[in-house]
Amino acid sequence: MSGISAGKRLSEAGITDLVILEATDHVGGRMHKRDLGGIKVEMGANWVEGVNGGKMNPIWPIVNSTLKLTNFRSDFDDLASNVYKEKGGVYKKAYVQKRIDRSDEVKEDGDKLSAKLHPSGQDDMSILAMQRLNDHLPNGPSSPVDMILDYFKYDYEFAEPPRVTSLQNTVPLATFSDFGDDVYFVADQRGYEAVVYYLAGQYLKADKAGNIVDPRLQLNKVVREISYSTRGVEVKTEDNKVYKADYVMVSTSLGVLQSDLIQFKPQLPTWKVLSIYQIDMAVYTKIFVKFPKKFWPEGKGREFFLYASSRRGYYGVWQEFEAQYPDANVLLVTVTDEESRRIEQQSDNQTKVEIMEVLRSMFPGEDVPDATDILVPRWWSDRFYKVTFSNWPIGVNRYEYDQLRAPVGRVYFTGEHTSEHYNGYVHGAYLSGIDSADILINCAQKSMCKYHVQGKYD
């Protein structure tokens, strides 16, 4: 997304002599659909997050008006009725609602505390530290119900636990305070990636079916080496092709930057390397499973249900698709962080066995058949990604994000991880492409090549 967005901005500024090198066989990166038993589901990004607020999320009109992608407002309204015990059955709604209310109170206190901290970030703390302070629990939420509610509130959003996530930079979260609290699930069979193809089609030649046929987009080109000097850049791909240019913009994931896939010659300066490695790589895994029949509750207020395991984050967040994929008999379970890494290293069959055990524990009185299909993304293991999205850790402030976004000579950088306010989101990737392109345009067309990075605690 960020690379296509940057290319569009450059083209609009008259910089059309460009080549886009894409390592895979498609554009869109982590916006990518796959087939699951005859329906298309999203391997990565799935929601337009932040809708119906004071500002317009730039992705929303493209999805909802321009392309008219099929989408549904996610319904979290009756979650208290849908928290399942480890050995089956649901917890009483009144009890769960009481725990939700307490969790919300702690978060509201966290909002107030975050606003009081020094704006430089020098007083930042983890979300868990805030919870300890406000809830007087030395280890944070610890009962099965409190753990799954905590997981749903934080890990399900950031893909990492509260102990590593910055309070000051995520509470409140700019995506929701700026664009609104509503989130919409994209379930269109064209895929969420249709947004990227639409943007690409604004400046790259496409056929009537929307496929990009412009020779400036080159697929299956794995960049392995970037050489740069004051005179220009050379980019070498795995097939030993060399591309020479005045500038290069790197739009890989943060995970790729933290790996050894691309070698920079000369090596990137220390300040740049430190900024790259200080941002967290988060892993968020959406596992789709298809069944021969339904055995779970449906209807209003039933879209999301939680499994309150004594093992935090173990197949905890579930979503059913009565509206999105009618009669498809599909469930989605989301895992993150260490569970994601563990699951990526085992077979799909082993994952299916674990999932079936959980479902049969949740629904002991139902005839729960084996799943017929399972789709397990492996973003962490994929050398072209190594991450699902970035997360803002403790102690990192605008200084590191400015450094992460800053060019090194003629080498420019973009991606959701360079978005100070919207990292981790589709709109963050889209806007970062525009921002990074503007930095390059200022240098190439206006000779304004100095990029100012404000001091750490200025």
**DSSP states along 232-290:** -EEEEETTS-EEEES-EEE---HHHHTSSSSEEESPPPHHHHHHHHHSEEE-EEEEEEE
Burial class (CB in 10 A: 0-12, 13-18, 19+), 48: buried
d(CA 39, CA 186): 13
Q: What is the pLDDT of residues 27-42, one digit of tens each?
A: 999 999 999 999 999 9
> Is 298 noted as a catalytic residue in this protein?
no
How are beta strands 317-320 and 304-307 bridged, if at all? antiparallel
Residue among 225, 259, 222 at smallest CA distance from 244: 225
| pLDDT the model gives residue 360 | 98
pLDDT digits (tens, 9 = 90+) for 69-128: 999 999 998 999 999 999 999 999 999 999 999 999 999 999 999 999 988 888 999 999
Q: How far is 193 from 34, CA to CA, in rounded Å?
A: 11
Q: What does pTM read for this prediction? A: 0.95
Tokens of 127: 């979300």
pLDDT at 458: 64
Task: From residue 35, give the alpha-carbon distance in Å to each of 301, 328, 376, 380, 388.
Answer: 27, 12, 12, 20, 20
Q: How far is CA 111 from its chain centroid?
A: 23
DSSP 8-state code for residue 292: S
DSSP per position, 1-46: -HHHHHHHHHHHTT-----EE-SSSSSSTT--EEEETTEEEESS--
For residues 194 and 421, the answer to whether their CB atoms sit within 8 Å is no
Whether 415 contacts 253, CB under 8 Å: yes
Q: Are 296 and 355 in contact (CB under 8 A)?
A: no
Q: Which residues of the chain have pLDDT under 70?
A: 458
Is 210 within 8 Å of 69 (Cβ atoms)? no
Amino acid residing at 320: E
Which entry of 12, 22, 42, 49 is annotated as an active-site residue? 49
